[in-house]
Amino acid sequence: MRAIGIGLIGWGTVGCGVIQTLRDNAEAIENRLGIPLKLLKVADLDLDRPRPVDVPRELLTTRVEDIMNDPDIHIVVELMGGLGAAKTFIKQALENKKYVVTANKALLAHDGNELFEVARRNGRSIGFEASVGGGIPIIKSLREGLAGNRIDTLFGILNGTANYILTRMTEGGLSFGDALREAQAKGYAEADPALDIEGTDTAHKLAIASAISFGTPIQFDSVYTEGISGIAPLDVQFGEEFGYCLKLLAIARNTDGRIEMRVHPTFIPRDHILAGVSGAYNAVHIHGNSVGNIMLYGMGAGMLPTGSAVVADLMDIARDILANTPERIAPLAFLPERLSLIPIKPISDISTCYYFRFSAVDRPGVLSKISGILGANEISISAVIQKGRQTEGSVPIVMVTHEAVEANVRKALKEIDELNVVLAPTQTIRIENQETTHRD
């Protein structure tokens, strides 16, 4: 074998990053592998639009079959995204006895369990480092670097778009809409940003990382998800007064035989290690029973960071091909027959601290009514801020609670929001303090 042949499906931003990385680092790659990685075909439906990285015309095709049927192509890289056609092409590649690399976190979150089984039946493997955290080696760290640990906690910032928006709302005082438009202008947000701002993209990544961490099949449908589109500058400001910074957090824990998986806006202390992760950067904090607390930080997206992760997978698979050891490491770290379907802890059972902002009528006795309902539902108040009138007829009453059970919080807020002195639904943001996010 003179080279490992690569076929690329999807000549977009990440595809350009892969091609550029293969070119820029060809000598280092060959020195590490002892054999070159050679790009043989690039398939895309649109071959004419301008791109930042050019490809020789003879390598271009609009026919995926030209990749699938080429015996010199050993690894197929799927970078087209989406669920339907991408799944079909990955299955076809595996059934044609080709290895696969993908950055498609949505597809893996929905259908990864099935695709990993197809790979196993065909004696091949799927590399997917770029699907979680872009250029940050989260998958490799969980599957290999931390393989000797029992992972009990994983949480972090896994979406650069949302983090950029919240950073600008915090540091620049922007509204959500203005921060989103700025993110789009800078290329950090898509024209349709729904997957990012509503938390779905983060939930895809959390489902994959949690499965690897805890030894369970991917359970995306069980991830509780809230986005950031309902966050107002007023809440960011009040959070700062309490000493908090707002982030869209992915949180996973394995405790008492149940897994907690949730994505939502979260207040964290200003001195928390994640509070300093700003702009489009990502970071993930992991606790293992032997290693303790570690954090991985870097660019979670982008042409070259994501391209770097794809090429790392290509190199790992190339080593397996050369050693004739397909699927040397199980896709979800645990042997498939040792994966167990661990029950998911419903959001109603979680216990954490809360931030509430009530829009109330400006009259005596309102605060006592609200606090009375909270107390009756076993919710203890830690701190209160009451400002002067902000809009005609209402004043904001802002509270931070001690730890409370979510089911009790929902019951109490339903009763409070039905009071004739409360003029709008209560804004609720969960809080993670140092003691709940760190284990020693």
| Residues designated catalytic | 205
d(CA 149, CA 175): 42
Q: Is 352 annotated as a binding-site member?
A: no
Phi, psi dihedrals of residue 372, rounded to the nearest 5°: -65, -45
Q: Is 105 annotated as a binding-site member?
A: yes
Query: Helix, strand, or coil here: 326?
Result: coil
Query: Helix, strand, or coil here: 12?
Result: coil
Q: Is 437 annotated as a binding-site member?
A: no
What element of type H or E holds 264?
strand 258-269
Residue by residue, what is the 3-state secondary structure of 123-188?
CCCEECHHHCCCCCCHHHHHHHHCCCCCEEEEEEECCHHHHHHHHHHHHCCCCHHHHHHHHHHCCC
Strands 394-401, 351-361: parallel, antiparallel or unpaired by DSSP?
antiparallel
**38 burial type by CB count under 10 A (0-12 exposed, 13-18 middle, 19+ buried):** middle
Q: Is 325 annotated as a binding-site member?
A: no
Phi, psi dihedrals of residue 280, rounded to the nearest 5°: -90, 10
Roughly what angle, to the nearest 10 degrees, separates helices 105-121 and 200-214? 40
**Contacts for 102 with CB less than 8 Å, ≥ 6 apart:** 77, 78, 79, 86, 90, 108, 126, 127, 128, 130, 131
d(CA 259, CA 346): 9
Q: Is 14 annotated as a binding-site member?
A: yes
Q: Is 16 annotated as a binding-site member?
A: yes
Q: Is 10 annotated as a binding-site member?
A: yes
Residues in the chain: 440
The contacts found for 91-94 with CB under 8 angstroms, 24 or more apart, are 91/115, 91/118, 92/64, 92/68, 93/67, 93/68, 94/118, 94/119, 94/122, 94/124, 94/126
Query: Helix, strand, or coil here: 415?
Result: helix
Q: Would you give the distance in Å from CA 73 to the centre of its chain?
A: 31
Binding site per annotation, positions for NADP(+)? 9-16
Binding residues for L-homoserine: 190
Residue list, annotated binding site for NADPH: 105
Return binding residues.
9-16, 105, 190
